[in-house]
A and B are shown apart, each in its own frame.
Chain A
């Protein structure tokens, strides 16, 4: 079974609108961390936001927030007030606490912001 599933290969959003990128995960470990990374066309991987499995509140980092629904095992990324510079690939990832030796990545979502 896939550890991380991103079901949206491509998404479009109008500039200044909000967009939600979906991510579901699969783990039996009660301790885990969830991450989102951005990969612009230049290729580098940029850390965006982190959510711990025991965190009571949803994580926020500026215009990024993580909609964490533990019972549904989902960790959707919400980008508010989209900007042209947000056009990129976005990867959801998980690190399990039991070993922590591996990050599991989803296949990514390509986001295009339309002016």
Chain B
């Protein structure tokens, strides 16, 4: 099925460990982004990309890295996990970053717990 695929769905990390959350889309979307969702705070943008080779920081980028080597993939790397990074992470993509009608297609989310 076409869409945004996120893996894993659940993950438990120990403080200080690193890991990569995977995100892939097969809709040839230019724009991809990562959000974290915390109770009472809505969705906050971590990083985004407007095309292969181009990434930029969002509202809460500290502790996370991204890269966009292909149109399809946009992995999110946690460098040294901290309990404050316990959250639900969503990857989302859309057709064009300059098209105001471009709604997001979201992945199913990754529930991350850092202990």
Contacts and interface: CB of A to CB of B under 8 A. Distances in A.
Contacts of A102: 45, 48, 58
Interface in B7-55: 31, 33, 35, 40-45, 48, 50
Interface string A37-73: 1000001110100101100000000000000000000
A22 B89 CA distance: 25
Which size class do B's interface residues fall under?
Answer: 20 to 34
B87 interface: no
Nearest to B38: A107
Contacts, number: 70
Contact of A95 (B44, B100, B105, B106): B100
24 contacts: A31-B100, A43-B109, A43-B111, A45-B90, A45-B92, A45-B104, A47-B104, A47-B105, A91-B43, A93-B104, A95-B102, A97-B98, A100-B98, A100-B100, A101-B50, A101-B56, A102-B48, A102-B58, A103-B43, A105-B35, A105-B42, A105-B44, A106-B42, A108-B42
A104 to B, nearest CB: 8
A105 B43 contact: yes
B97 A100 contact: yes
Nearest to A39: B37
B106 A33 contact: no
A96 B45 CA distance: 15
A11 to B, nearest CB: 16
